[in-house]
Structure 1
Amino acid sequence: MADKNEIEKKNITVFGEETEFDGVLEFSDRLVITGKFSGKINAPAGDLEIAKNAVCKVDKIDANSIIVAGGDVNGDMNAAERVEICSGSKVIGNITTARIRIANNVEFSGDVNMLDKEPEVDLFSVASSEYKQAMLIHSDVIK
């Protein structure tokens, strides 16, 4: 499980509101899309945020985590860790993830497939607080 300092060290790239991208996009850190994107996103180790007013028409998004913070997404999403769809967002497509959160005032059309993900923590190599956090995340997945 990544600690807070490791998360903060990730590079952040922002596609501005005036940016339009069409094609295949690959990244490994953090990407925030505030403009328009069309194509495929392949970032199994990356964290993606689709900001308010952003428009994404995708064949598929593969990422570690995906946050739709008020934008529009048309296409399938696959996130190993989690998907969060915030209020005011519109998502049309299927979602596969270990954890999902859908806020009120979201327009969603599609299927959700939950991954059965075990915590990636070795009991004998971590502090008790880190293991406890991993078990809490696992209990969210099982519910």
Structure 2
Amino acid sequence: MYALALAAALAASPAAEPAAALPPPPTLPTVQAVQHIPGIDEVLEIPPDLRAMLQERVIARGGSREDRIERLAAMVLEAGGLALEYDNDRTRTVAETWRDRRANCLSFTWCSSPWRARPGWKPASRKSARCWPGTATPV
């Protein structure tokens, strides 16, 4: 019954005016979308000068694992080494980070982690990592 009353009310109402035509959307500039995306080997490739610095300042001096980690951190962070500065404008390859001396968190990780598998480093598994007392957080 309600449907019949609603249909009659709609039929008796005046016709609506047609909607105004929308203006055409603005023309956007053409953008070149093709960009070189480096492969993993290119991303992690350590430049010869950086490899030599690592060998001289960290690996060749020997010492305990902790000593080498401290020297690696000093080489990456301090003046006279890489002296990396945080810069979140883009993610760089290891070579670009070496050249620019700037890195975001991912670039910084790439500059630090590949060296663990280089000669003179013995990567530790999570099982053998030392942890803060009472936690599962590696030291």
Write 1 or 2 for the structure with the bigger share of helix. 2
Higher RCO by CA contacts (8 Å cutoff, separation 6 or greater): 2
Give the structure-1-normalised TM-score. 0.22
Give the structure-2-normalised TM-score. 0.22
Write 1 or 2 for the structure with the bigger share of strand. 1
